[in-house]
Structure 1
Amino acid sequence: MTADHRSGLRGPASTVQEFGDAPTEVRESAHYKHEYVQTFVDKWDELIDWRARYASEGRFFVDQLRTRGVTSVLDVATGTGFHSVRLLEEGFETVVSADGSAEMLAKAFDNGMKFGGHVLRVVQADWRWLNRDVHGEYDAIICLGNSFTHLFSERDRRRALAEFYAMLSHDGVLILDQRNYDAILDNGFSSTHRYYYCGDDVVAEPEYVDDGLARFRYRFPDGSQYHLNMFPLRKDYTRRLMHEVGFQRVDTYGDFQSTYADDEPDFFVHIAEKAYLDQEDAE
């Protein structure tokens, strides 16, 4: 992708998020396009802190992919490109970076050049029609950064998972993460900020939560603030959907650990394998 093509991803710069007069009633899967405005995207890396994120997650994702012999990866929620760049740095042969936000993709492309001189292969795509916009078959698909919770209807979630499943090789793997919404819904919000949103002096916390909405507020040192409306997925519900779409085995980690108390982790990571299992292996 050339710089000219990259710049063509951006439309007129938007600086104001649009939630209307009743922001807690905004519960639509496509609304994220009005949430990731240019000024918010420009601050996103302050929230992540690439260097701190690199240290906190260690080699977890790289090792999970390596042990399964993965060479090609589709990053379906690349955001500003952190994991796509990391995988290219680690020598994975094929990495394609997709996102529904043109602003995020432009930032990811810039970050690829900034961190290592990588020319990211970026594609703007809606997960619900992923096979229409992205071509090929992949050993692994990653959907990270709590991105799957932008889908508000079960129909959309099933459709997206089915699209992921269809684009994987016969023994492919899907890695998908989410906030620990179980703990937020049942016990209230708390966060160590050790693993995902590591930026200093950036506050990310829920402003409103019910069974159908988690509205998060992000406050930055310069006084600016932004919001994201997301669906509070429960862990076991996500695992069930993965199985029902066809994934044979789903392992779930809490903050990258295989053993955890359900209320402790900030994030869950689901690793769903497509390969067919004999009944004895599945039990």
Structure 2
Amino acid sequence: MSSSKQNYGANPLAKRETDHYKNEYIESFVSKWDELIDWDARANSEGDFFLRTLKERNAHKVLDVATGTGFHSIRLIEQGFEVTSADGSPSMLARAFANGRKRDHILRTVQADWRWLNRDIHGKYDAVICLGNSFTHLFEERDRRKSLAEFYAALRHDGVLIIDQRNYDMILDEGFRSKHIYYYAGENVRAEPEHVDDGLARFVYEFPDGAKFNLNMFPLRKEYMRKLLYEVGFQKVTTYGDFQETHHQDQPDFYIHVAEKYYGTEYEGEARP
């Protein structure tokens, strides 16, 4: 695998398999990822949403399965959470570990494929977080179901999964438009789709120095994602749009699903779809 150039072959739009993400996060792209995110801007935009959501559910031990360069792992550690940081990309994990060291933290990092997560992750967690639109790297439904089942199995009996995604419904039905203030908040960085169909959203990321990279992702629809979460066993799924209840936000950039695993006899939750 080259560390300087992505390789999509002769037909980039045909690259629709889950494992290709390993070839997308090359070192030269990973090295620019923090420029794309802008940690301070992202922290300001999301506020205390994730911290509050976890604390409300008495979560302390958290598994971050899409660590990336470490933004959420480090933020949670600094708020007193016990965090294990997992990712499928060794380049991302190395960058996350280095970012932790800069802030005087030693991250517990694990390279893991979500489809076999519990082979590499041991013990049970109060919460699993899968953020940064990462779940859309899974192109096959069997991979999505298997990964969600692995997240479910990694949780304690009353645990919670927090998982986010772009608003692909809007992109598929109306075309792309973005407020560009919540997730990819870096200055003068372009992040938008250059091709979209029902099975592929191919995004381009362009940086001020002219560097250009792509990611091929599966365009998950919101209700399909909620349905999968219920079908793998989660008892309650609450969906937020850009950190607000969905009915307050017509066309958010991102959806955040808070899926709860609960077996209490007095449970009262949303009706399943």
Short-chain TM bin? over 0.9
Q: Report Cα offsets for 1:195-237 as digits up to 9, x if no partner.
A: 1000000000001000000000000000010000000000000
For the pair 1:193 / 2:180, whether they are aligned, the reply is yes
| Secondary structure in 1 matching 2:151 | helix
| Secondary structure in 1 matching 2:160 | strand
Structure 2 spans left out of the alignment, 5+ residues? none
Distance 2:57 2:267 in 1: 21
> What's the TM-score, normalizing by structure 2?
0.96
Residue-pair matches, total: 270
State the AA in 2 paired with 1:108: A
State the AA in 2 paired with 1:127: W
Tell me what 1:39 maps to. Answer: 28
Tell me what 1:213 maps to. Answer: 200
Distance 1:261 1:22, change over 3 A: farther
> What's the TM-score, normalizing by structure 1?
0.93
For the pair 1:88 / 2:77, whether they are aligned, the reply is yes
Deviation at 1:15, TM superposition (A): 1.1
For the pair 1:17 / 2:6, whether they are aligned, the reply is yes
| 1:48-63 correspondence runs (5 A) | 48-63=37-52
Q: Give the conservation status (yes or no) of the 8 Å contact 1:248–1:277.
A: no
For the pair 1:176 / 2:141, whether they are aligned, the reply is no
Q: Give the conservation status (yes or no) of the 8 Å contact 1:183–1:263.
A: no
Distance 1:279 1:139, change over 3 A: closer
Tell me what 1:233 maps to. Answer: 220
Q: Report Cα offsets for 1:16-36 as digits up to 9, x if no partner.
A: 111000000100101000000
| Secondary structure in 2 matching 1:171 | strand
Tell me what 1:68 maps to. Answer: 57
| Secondary structure in 1 matching 2:158 | strand
For the pair 1:267 / 2:267, whether they are aligned, the reply is no
Tell me what 1:276 maps to. Answer: 263
Distance 1:207 1:261 in 2: 29
| Secondary structure in 2 matching 1:41 | helix
| Secondary structure in 2 matching 1:176 | strand
| Secondary structure in 2 matching 1:145 | coil
Tell me what 2:211 maps to. Answer: 224
Distance 1:259 1:235, change over 3 A: closer
Between the two proteins, what is the percent identity of the paired residues?
A: 66
Distance 2:267 2:60 in 1: 29
Distance 1:154 1:34 in 2: 21
For the pair 1:102 / 2:94, whether they are aligned, the reply is no
RMSD, matched Cα? 1.3
| Secondary structure in 2 matching 1:281 | coil
